[in-house]
Structure 1
Amino acid sequence: MDKLFLEIKQHLANKILPFWMKLKDEENGGFYGEVGYDLEVNKVADKGGIATARFLWTFSSAYRVTKDKKYLECAEHLYVFMRDYLIDPDYKGMYWLVDYKGQPKDTRKHIYAQSFALYALSEYYRITKNEEALTLAFDIFQLIEEKGYDASNGAYREEFDRNWNEQSNEMLSENGVIAEITMNTHIHILEAYTNFYKAYPTDVLKQRLTDLIEIHYTKIYNEETKFLGVFFDKNWNELVNMKSFGHDIEASWLLDEAIKTIGLKNEKYDEMVLDIAYNIADYAMQEDGSLINEQVEDAYDYTRIWWVQAEAMVGYLNAWEHTKDPKFEVIIEKLWDYIKENIVDERANGEWYWSIEKDGKPTEKSVGEPWKTSYHNGRFCLEFIERMTRI
């Protein structure tokens, strides 16, 4: 896999990170909020809290891994914007959306968004030891626990208004249901807490991670089918028969990372991690090397979405590290070929398309916006660089 490793390392440095660095808003702070399908930058587009956090995580991590100071400069620029404009000075927590000048636009507080704020702040603290960033991270952690955690069912609540009054979960529900509990929020709390533990380990955080892993095993993961549930009511009853293939393979390696980070020894968790990876490999990987999106009841969505491919790359590298099963090595190589030939935008100044339709054509959707940033594909590259350097 030496050739693949070199290609991915170059792809991060020459394609992904330069594309996003050009969005640095020197006048108003942060990064510009939208790049259209035509690759035109919208300099007055709104700036998302999640997007800003994902950018901050990416460039902090890129600096930590490569030690290239231009990435540190981007991270510092993004941190200042988050601190000054996205963190609510009165009620704490991160806003959902601000306008291009940083003025509050959508002040709802979503636990999913808070998890990304924590993820980013902890990574920034790892590279700077900035005590202010650590204080903000602790504030976010305490909010997630005090406002988000429901001790009656072991779940994390979803959506709140600016004053932290619970609201209907509009932002992370779909398929005709309003979910009181989502798998998506839980895997990203797990992700954030894992990174926070790497930055500043405490016994309290270790216990919360231990509890989260058990909740994933007992409530979200189905030991019989090997799939994860997606949307639940407050009693953990599934609301729709849905399989989200990208989230499952992402959860596989995020769970494993949490398990390794806190040194948890439990065979049932290790089996879950690998059973998820094998299940998605057998059920949803395609002959062309790609991973399709999802299944609702008997209907399959064959769209090849950018983040699904990126997370599959990490998930199968993680599975290969555990098993050395050549099946996973073949998946990685075929998927990388698919990404290069289809998902990567070879237009001048392009990055990755949002997705490829069933007919093989790129989806004509913005390639940079509040949900599409440098995080998934940037992280895939960074994970490969770190992990393959250790091999």
Structure 2
Amino acid sequence: MKQLAAEIKEHLEQKILPFWMNLKDEKNGGFYGEVDYSLRIEEEADKGGIATARFLWTFSAAYRVTNNEKYLEYANHLYAFLRDKLYDRIHRGIYWLVDFRGKPKDTRKHVYAQSFAIYALSEYYRVSRSREALDLAMEIYHLIEEKGYDNQNQAYMEEFDRSWHPVDNEMLSENGVMAEITMNTHIHVLEAYTNLYKATYDQALKQRLTDLLHVHYQNIYDEKTKFLNVFFDKEWQSLVDMKSFGHDIEASWLMDETMKTINFHDSNYDKMILDIAYNVADYAIQEDGSLINEQINEEYDYTRIWWVQAEAMVGFLNAYQNTDDPKFEQLIIKLWDYIKQNIVDKRKHGEWYWSVEANGKPTERSVGEPWKTSYHNSRFCLEFIERVLG
């Protein structure tokens, strides 16, 4: 495993991070908003709030793990753009989208986006010790709790207009439903709050994380299927028969990370985490080692999406470390081989394709844009470096 992790470390430093570093916008701040399928940088593309936060997290974490000073320089650059251009100083919170100059363009507020701002700002604080960054992270945390949490059903709400009036959840609904609660937002609130706790050890935050774990176990996890439900109405009733395999395996290790971070122990939750990992492995891993995207009713989506493969690498590593079951070691080896052969863009200056179709051909979709950034695959690499190489 150490040899594989060393190879992954080299891949991060020689392939993934240089691709994104090439997008630094020296004139207008942040990173350029799009790289099309032909690898042409769209210098006037819009810049996403989620994307900027994910970049900030990436380069902050890369510096923390590798001690390479150049990554901190990029983190400083990204922090300034998030603070100065993406944060709404009138109504608070992070915008969904700004134009290439940093002018607000889509001013809606989404709890999902606010969570990534917290995730990034707390990571940046961990390496910079910037009190300003931590204060901003805490401000957004309190904002979510004030505006975005429904105490009656213990759920985080989804979408709001600029001044925090609830609106339909357009950005995180799909498959013909308008979800008032999503699994996706909840796992990323959990992820963000866990990282904020690592920066603060705030006891109120620890209690909120404990509550969130309970919500995942009681309301989101389906003990019969051993998958997570995806979309819900406000009473936590599932709206569609859907399995999102990438989110399942991602959630399994994120929940475990939260439990370890706050020193929380519950054998039922431990079983849930491992049951999800075994279930995904048995149900959705293909002969070639890859993980398919999702299932809706009886229809399978066999697309191999970049982030799904990255999260499976971490989820299986986490399961292997918790069980020592060689099954997970073999899954990791085979999946990494699939990623190298199919998902990694072998073109000069390429990174990872958005996805590979069921027929094995790369999807001709932008390889950098508001939803595709450095976060998932950089994090997979950093997790292997930390967990295996130490």
Interval of TM-score (by shorter of Structure 1 and Structure 2): over 0.9
Counterpart for residue 322 of structure 1: 322
- Aligned to 2:358, the other structure's residue is in SS state coil
Report the equivalent of 1:287.
287
2:386 matched residue in structure 1: 386
**2:208 equivalent to 1:219:** no
SS at match of 1:167: coil
Amino acid at match of 2:243: K
Distance 2:271 2:319 in 1: 11
1:234 partnered with 2:272: no
RMSD over equivalenced CA pairs, Å: 0.4
**What residue is the counterpart of 2:255 in the other structure?**
255
| Partner Cα distance (2:315, 2:134) in 1 | 29
The equivalences for 1:157-196 within 5 A come to 157-196=157-196
Q: Which amino acid counterpart does residue 31 of structure 1 have in structure 2?
A: F
Q: Distance in 2 between matches of 1:204 and 1:5?
A: 36
For 1:37 and 1:273, the matched residues in 2 are separated by 36
* Correspondence for 1:361: 361
Whole-angstrom CA distance in 1 between matches of 2:159 and 2:201: 27
Tell me which amino acid in the other structure corresponds to 2:280. I
Superposition deviation, residue 3 in structure 1 = 2.1
Distance 1:54 1:7 in 2: 23
* Distance in 1 between residues matched to 2:225 and 2:45, nearest whole Å: 43
Question: SS at the partner of 2:227?
Answer: coil
**Matched AA of 1:230:** V
Cross-structure match for 1:37: 37
Indicate the SS of the match to 2:222: coil
Letter in 2 for 1:223: E
1:140-155 equivalences under 5 Å are 140-155=140-155
Q: Which runs of 5+ in 1 are unaligned?
A: none
Identity %: 71
Q: Deviations over 1:189-233 (max 9, x none)?
A: 000000000011111000000000000000000111100000000
- State the Cα distance separating 1:265 from its structure 2 match: 1.0
Residue aligning to 1:243: 243
| Structure 1 CA distance for aligned equivalents of residues 289 and 267 of structure 2 | 30
Distance 1:215 1:361 in 2: 39
- Structure 2 unaligned residues grouped into runs of 5+: none
Give the match's secondary structure for 2:337. Answer: helix
After superposition, what is the alpha-carbon deviation per residue over 1:328-386, rounded to whole angstroms, capped at 9, x for unaligned?
00000000000000000000100000000000000000000000000000000000000
Instruction: Provide the secondary structure at the position in 2 that maps to 1:218.
Output: helix
Q: Which amino acid aligns with 1:296?
A: I
CA distance in 2, matches of 1:370, 1:267: 38
Counterpart-to-counterpart distance in 2, 1:177 and 1:225? 21
Letter in 2 for 1:131: R
Matches within 5 A, 1:1-391: 1-390=1-390
Distance in 2 (CA, whole Å) between partners of 1:311 and 1:2 is: 19
Distance 1:137 1:6 in 2: 33
Q: Displacement, 1:261?
A: 0.2
CA distance in 2, matches of 1:205, 1:3: 38
Structure 2 distance, partners of 1:262, 1:319, is 19
Query: In 2, distance between residues paired with 1:200 and 1:387?
Result: 23
Alpha-carbon displacement from aligned partner over 1:82-111 (angstroms, at most 9, x marks no partner): 000000010110000000000000000000
CA distance in 1, matches of 2:382, 2:318: 13
- How far does the alpha carbon of each residue in 1:280-321 deviate from its partner, in whole angstroms, 9 at most, with x for none? 000000010000000000000000000000000000000000
The residue type equivalent to 2:380 in the other structure is: F
Q: State the distance in 1 between where 2:229 and 2:186 align.
A: 11
Q: How far is the alpha carbon of 1:81 from its aligned partner?
A: 0.2
Q: What letter corresponds to residue 372 of structure 1 in structure 2?
A: K
Specify the code of the residue in structure 2 equivalent to 1:94. Answer: I
On the 8 A contact 2:2/2:389 being kept in 1, the answer is no
Distance 2:309 2:266 in 1: 29
Q: Which runs of 4+ in 1 moved over 2 A?
A: none
2:3 is paired with a residue whose SS is: helix
Alpha-carbon distance in 1 for matches of 2:5, 2:130 = 32
Q: Distance in 2 between matches of 1:290 and 1:63?
A: 30
The whole-number CA distance in structure 1 between the counterparts of 2:286 and 2:338 is: 10
Query: 1:144 & 1:223 partners in 2: Cα distance?
Result: 29
Report the secondary structure of 2:37's partner residue. Answer: coil
CA distance in 2, matches of 1:139, 1:33: 26
Using the TM superposition, give the Cα deviation of residue 5 of structure 1 relative to its aligned residue in structure 2, in angstroms.
1.0
Q: What letter matches 2:105 in structure 1?
A: K
The CA deviation at 1:389 is 2.2
The code of the aligned residue for 1:385 comes to: I
In structure 2, what is the Cα distance between the partners aligned to 1:171 and 1:5? 35
The residue type equivalent to 2:198 in the other structure is: K
2 CA distance for matches of 1:210 and 1:85? 33
Deviation at 1:2, TM superposition (A): 2.4
